[in-house]
Chains A and B, each alone.
Chain A
Amino acid sequence: MKKTGTPRPRGERGPLASVALHTTLLIASAIAVLPPLWLLVTSFKPQSEAFSTALVKDFTLGNYDHVLNDTKFLHWVANSLFVVGLTTVIGVFISATTGYAVSRFKFPGMRPLMWLLLITQMFPVAVLIVPLYNLLASMELLNQPLGLVLTYLTIAVPFCAWMMKGYFDTIPVEIDEAGRVDGLNPFGTFWRLILPLAKPGLAVTGFYSFITGWAEVAYASAFMTGEENLTLAGGLQTFVNQYTSDWGSLTAAAVIVAVPAAVIFGFVQRHLVSGLTAGATKS
């Protein structure tokens, strides 16, 4: 770290420290980046060379072509988008109203509600999965995207509400009061004043719901069967299982899945820090 002795301006470090810092960060970055990068590289190799250590020798888009045209991949994308999109919209909206109520009003039942939200986050998949399976079966929602949406809300909503509460806590109450003085009712205050101010928080929450649904495996594997109905997480498993190992298709599909997620992440990550820590420090 910083050596004492020779006076050095504040916040500057010696050349040795700089080198050490950059080396460590470079190694860490390499470890973080290489696996996804390798995935990208492999997706451009012909199926037969999927495991060669060499960089791309015969560049090919064959894997992508195969995945897009000969498999149900696009079906899965559509299923996932539908499920995840709906989960995000519903999840963000209802968790925002709850977060606001919990943040601004002291009302009977608030503490139990907070506890409920906290505890629901810890529910293991294992307790709920069988009863949910039965419940969805009796409602004939098995193999239906809607069933998965309902299920994902259980995962997304508690955490999002908790996070939104933290975010609303950082918005001064005076703004609400000003709105009330000007004659807005509580819903109006929420809708016209606070919600627009809470956009970063909403973005983070929406992103969280999106990622949760996009990457969920357990429920999707259990509730959706038949190639037509799978979502991405389930669909990709069919490329590599004990019977087949079509790594070429898997990598191509994985790249197509990862890119939109990573792009959205890029947009949101600026707000991610503020949203997360607001939720953490104020909860």
Chain B
Amino acid sequence: MAVESGPRVAGAADARDGVRGRAPRAGKNPGRLRRALSTHWYAWAMVAPVVTVIGVIVGYPLVRGLYLSTTDANEANVERTIGVNHIPATYESVGLDNYRAILDDGVFWDRLTWTVIWTVSCVALSFALGLVLANMLNRKLRGRSFYRMALILPWAVPAFVSVFTWRLLFNEKKGVLNKILEGGGIDAVPWLNDPTWAKLSVITVNVWLGVPFMLVAMLGGLQSIPAELYEAAEMDGANAWQRFRHITLPGLRPVATTVVLISAIWTFNMFPVIFLLTRGGPGDATEILVTYAYRLSFVVSPRDFAGSAAWGVLILVLLSLFAVVYRRALRKQGEVW
């Protein structure tokens, strides 16, 4: 895919070439394709493995997924082998019916609303906490490396292990959190069994998991801001808040924008936390779009492959829209990337 666009822009690209190789001189009157090939063959050779990998295990399934989403494929009519009998596929195309059904149905919009709430609150909270903690750590401080290690720990422990740990803590009848509350004379809280509490719980766990990433990224960002700027500002009489507002925040922008974009996408697609903590329950209260699509194709019976694929495509469209809008907003503010 990447390679096909080659010949058309080859001339322009030549002019911009930074480090150019000793292109083996092709014979007389080389065609444009030939010339492009001889100039760029090693660049292409170097990206070829990734392009192949992505093409085969992302491109093909994606196209196939798009196709499945316009059929009525489910567990009962796909190609399958039972014992020695091979049963051919009998599903057929239904056009855009799947999409129509999904968009007409309230379930999608409910899940979408919750997914947006989930993404925004998780990203905002972990970003804010990460920023505050990074600012606290980015100064002379006794025990700095100890704090750093401690605060990064949630990231070091594999996420699914942490999620199991939280389930242990959240256990309604016997969990530690409720035992502690009981000691204070407060009734047991149904952490994972009440829709509202379950939502709060999954957000808590995800923020807990997400803060270290933000913290590390922000620390790196802070350290790349030249100290001279602060000195100059101090000389000019800027107080701590002004320095933070006018030096730290703008200085963090490049890191922050990338980190927020990445973590928004990760959170939007955050499968393990929800799946392992609540399985989307109680009912489907904490089911985000991704886990719901997974439920359609691997949990419910009969497995609804077509519906799941259609959900997947819709999720992808939403994310692409988000990325485009986000980038455009950045570009409008003069960000190059």
Interface centre among B50, B68, B313, B337 (most CB of A within 10 A): B50
Q: Does A143 contact B (CB under 8 A)?
A: no
Q: How many A-B residue pairs have CB under 8 A?
A: 338
**Residue from A110, A127, A150, A214 in contact with B57 in the complex, judged by beta carbons closer than 8 Å:** A150
Query: Residues 1-30 of chain B: 1 if any A CB is under 8 Å from the residue's CB, otherwise 0?
Result: 111111111100100111111100000000
Query: Residues 94-133 of chain A: 1 if any B CB is under 8 Å from the residue's CB, otherwise 0?
Result: 1101101110111111101100111111111111111111
Q: Does B65 contact A (CB under 8 A)?
A: yes
Alpha-carbon separation in the docked complex, A4 to B272 (Å): 48
Q: Is the CB of A53 within 8 A of B180?
A: yes
Alpha-carbon separation in the docked complex, A274 to B219 (Å): 10
Give the Cβ gap from A253 to chain B, nearest Cβ, in Å. 9
Please, which residue of chain A has its CB at the minimum distance from the CB of B258?
A: A280
Stretch at the interface among B95-103, B117-125, B192-200, B288-296: B288-296
Q: Does A261 contact B (CB under 8 A)?
A: yes
Q: Does A228 contact B (CB under 8 A)?
A: no
Q: Is the CB of B241 within 8 A of A257?
A: no
Residues of chain A with a CB closer than 8 A to B217's CB: 276-277, 280
Q: Does B165 contact A (CB under 8 A)?
A: yes
Q: Is the CB of B272 within 8 A of A217?
A: yes
Interface members, chain A 2-58 (any B CB < 8 Å) = 2, 4, 10-12, 21-22, 24-25, 28-29, 31-33, 35-36, 38-39, 42, 50-51, 53
Residues of chain A with a CB closer than 8 A to B168's CB: 38-39, 42, 50, 247, 250-251
Give the Cβ gap from A95 to chain B, nearest Cβ, in Å. 7
Residues of chain A with a CB closer than 8 A to B176's CB: 38, 51, 53
Q: Known contacts A157-B54, A211-B158, A276-B217; decide if A186 and B136 are in contact (CB<8 Å).
A: no
Query: Residues 201-241 of chain B: 1 if any A CB is under 8 Å from the residue's CB, otherwise 0?
Result: 00000001001100011011101100000010010000111
Q: Is the CB of B46 within 8 A of A98?
A: yes
Q: Is the CB of B293 within 8 A of A108?
A: no
**Residue from B54, B216, B309 in contact with A276 in the complex, judged by beta carbons closer than 8 Å:** B216
Interface size class of B (residues with CB under 8 A): 35 or more
**Residue from B2, B50, B64, B315 in contact with A95 in the complex, judged by beta carbons closer than 8 Å:** B50
Residues of chain A with a CB closer than 8 A to B13's CB: 106-108, 110
Q: Is the CB of B320 within 8 A of A125?
A: no
Residues of chain B with a CB closer than 8 A to A221's CB: 275, 298
Alpha-carbon separation in the docked complex, A20 to B6 (Å): 59
Q: Is the CB of A35 within 8 A of B169?
A: yes
Q: Is the CB of A124 within 8 A of B315?
A: yes
Alpha-carbon separation in the docked complex, A248 to B153 (Å): 22
Q: Is the CB of A154 within 8 A of B53?
A: yes
Alpha-carbon separation in the docked complex, A108 to B12 (Å): 9
Q: Is the CB of B174 within 8 A of A51?
A: yes
Give the Cβ gap from B72 to chain A, nearest Cβ, in Å. 14
**Residue from B51, B153, B223 in contact with A113 in the complex, judged by beta carbons closer than 8 Å:** B51
Q: Is the CB of B254 within 8 A of A281?
A: yes
Query: Residues 115-148 of chain B: 1 if any A CB is under 8 Å from the residue's CB, otherwise 0?
Result: 0000000000000010001001101111100110
Alpha-carbon separation in the docked complex, A261 to B294 (Å): 27
Q: Does A171 contact B (CB under 8 A)?
A: no
Residues of chain A with a CB closer than 8 A to B154's CB: 32, 35-36
**Residue from B18, B36, B137, B150 in contact with A106 in the complex, judged by beta carbons closer than 8 Å:** B18
Alpha-carbon separation in the docked complex, A187 to B48 (Å): 14
Interface centre among A1, A101, A150, A250 (most CB of B within 10 A): A101
**Residue from B174, B231, B255, B268 in contact with A277 in the complex, judged by beta carbons closer than 8 Å:** B255
Residues of chain A with a CB closer than 8 A to B311's CB: 126
Alpha-carbon separation in the docked complex, A211 to B92 (Å): 40
Q: Known contacts A130-B308, A131-B62, A240-B167; decide if A109 and B5 are in contact (CB<8 Å).
A: yes
Give the Cβ gap from B23 to chain A, nearest Cβ, in Å. 11
Q: Does A236 contact B (CB under 8 A)?
A: yes
Q: Is the CB of A120 within 8 A of B58?
A: yes
Residues of chain B with a CB closer than 8 A to A134's CB: 64, 78
Q: Is the CB of B271 within 8 A of A215?
A: no
**Residue from A33, A108, A128 in contact with B8 in the complex, judged by beta carbons closer than 8 Å:** A108
Give the Cβ gap from B155 to chain A, nearest Cβ, in Å. 7
Q: Does A135 contact B (CB under 8 A)?
A: yes
Q: Does A254 contact B (CB under 8 A)?
A: yes
Q: Does A237 contact B (CB under 8 A)?
A: yes
Q: Does B82 contact A (CB under 8 A)?
A: no
Residues of chain A with a CB closer than 8 A to B51's CB: 113, 116
Alpha-carbon separation in the docked complex, A104 to B47 (Å): 12
Q: Is the CB of A135 within 8 A of B64?
A: yes
Q: Does B106 contact A (CB under 8 A)?
A: no
Alpha-carbon separation in the docked complex, A94 to B57 (Å): 15
Please, which residue of chain B has its CB at the minimum distance from the CB of A266?
A: B156
Query: What are the nearest 7 A-B pairs in CB distance?
Result: A127-B312, A277-B220, A126-B293, A131-B61, A51-B174, A109-B2, A29-B150
> What would be 24 A-B contacts, judged by CB atoms less than 8 Å apart?
A36-B162, A39-B165, A39-B168, A97-B49, A105-B42, A106-B18, A107-B13, A108-B40, A113-B47, A116-B1, A116-B54, A117-B54, A118-B323, A123-B58, A129-B297, A131-B65, A135-B57, A157-B53, A186-B42, A217-B271, A221-B298, A233-B160, A261-B156, A262-B157
